[in-house]
Structure 1
């Protein structure tokens, strides 16, 4: 009995840890799904007027409708769209109600980088957003070629002379620009994969523990015979 007691305790302890990690990831999955559902509900809500004061904490994903004027001059943010390829997000300034904010009009292919686009009076519906796209690997923008590599809202606002507020259009603002509206597809939710991994490791651990215990009992049986 002493031959297998320590391996048994060790095996059960390891199994308990792996199973508890899998259960924890399932709890995290439920929590994340609730958050994503809340975000999707907020994104799809009826649009409102632009708030007088805005913040990332209170107004992220807020649906807004603006009537005003699209200003000339644009910034191109390099992106890649599935099944389409490389292109640019078109960022411009938009003036409404004596305020000027940034608008992400959507996507154009690289061949349409220099195409003329509609400006002037228009109505736009979209969602306020403060994308988190900057890290230590993000290159500095190529100002001469007008190529940016992330939607860095404060720097975009400084470049175009607007408030540091970005509206992601979900309505069409130009026939040649495809809107890329806000959604939850880019929000990581890998908890199910993590849970499967932990439960899979628990299964392997249990099998290896059982095999080790069986191997340890075999000599003892032989000696008794």
Structure 2
């Protein structure tokens, strides 16, 4: 009897923990969906002038329109686009009246890597962003062939003589460059999968607990005799 009681308490406690983790992930899912909705709303907002003081925390995704000069000289960041294939993001410096920042103009296929692109006076609308694309597996840029493997904003800014501020263009800056605007699709939201995992484990735990309780309550052959 004590063994059955121990199995029952242990099983209920484990089931409660697994279910609580599943419901916690559902709460996190609702929170994350709200955050993503706010980000999408911010991304699609009316563009404003480039702030004098830029905060990475407060100005991420801020829609901005800048006027000035797209400087010659570009950096190519290797990227792959669904249903298109491999190509490069074109990163250049852009000078306004009193400052120079980075502009991610968008995507070109590998065959257009060396193509001439429009520079000079223009207006660009996009969103400020500081992509987090660097990890321990990211290769160092191939400077000789001008191939970078991530948008490392500080290093890109140093290479192009600009502030570590990047505007991801959503307006077209050249007929041959396809803008890749900022969106929330790349922000991880795995809480539903986590919740399903915890609830699945809870179901398995409940089944195992039931099995062990049944096995321990079933009469042995010596008791039947």
**TM-score, normalising length: structure 1:** 0.96
Task: Tell me how far apart the structure 1 counterparts of residues 221 and 36 of structure 2 sit (CA, whole Å).
Answer: 57
Q: Deviations over 1:100-151 (max 9, x none)?
A: 1100000011111001111111111000001111111111111100001111
1:49 partner SS: coil
1:60-109 CA-to-partner distances (Å, cap 9, x unmatched) read: 10000111111111000001111111110000011112211100000011
The 3 A distance-change label for structure 1 pair 33 and 220 is: same
Counterpart of 2:144?
Answer: 144
Aligned CA RMSD, in angstroms, stands at 1.4
Q: Which residue of 1 aligns with 2:2?
A: 2
Which residues in structure 2 correspond to 1:130-209 (within 5 Å)? 130-209=130-209
Which consecutive unaligned segments of at least 5 residues does structure 1 have?
A: none
Structure 2: gaps of 5 or more residues:
none
Q: How many correspondences in the alignment?
A: 225
- CA distance in 1 between partners of 2:221 and 2:101 (Å): 81
Give the match's secondary structure for 1:10.
helix
- Paired position in structure 1 for 2:212: 212
Cα shift readout 1:139-186 (whole Å, capped 9, x = no counterpart): 111110000111111111111111111000001111111100000111
Structure 1 residue matching 2:186: 3-state secondary structure: coil
TM-score w.r.t. the length of structure 2 is 0.96
User: Matches of residues 63-74 of structure 1 in structure 2 within 5 Å?
Assistant: 63-74=63-74
Runs of 4+ in 1 over 3 A off after TM superposition: none
Alpha-carbon distance between aligned partners in 1 of 2:42 and 2:115, rounded to the nearest angstrom:
34
- For 1:129 and 1:7, the matched residues in 2 are separated by 54
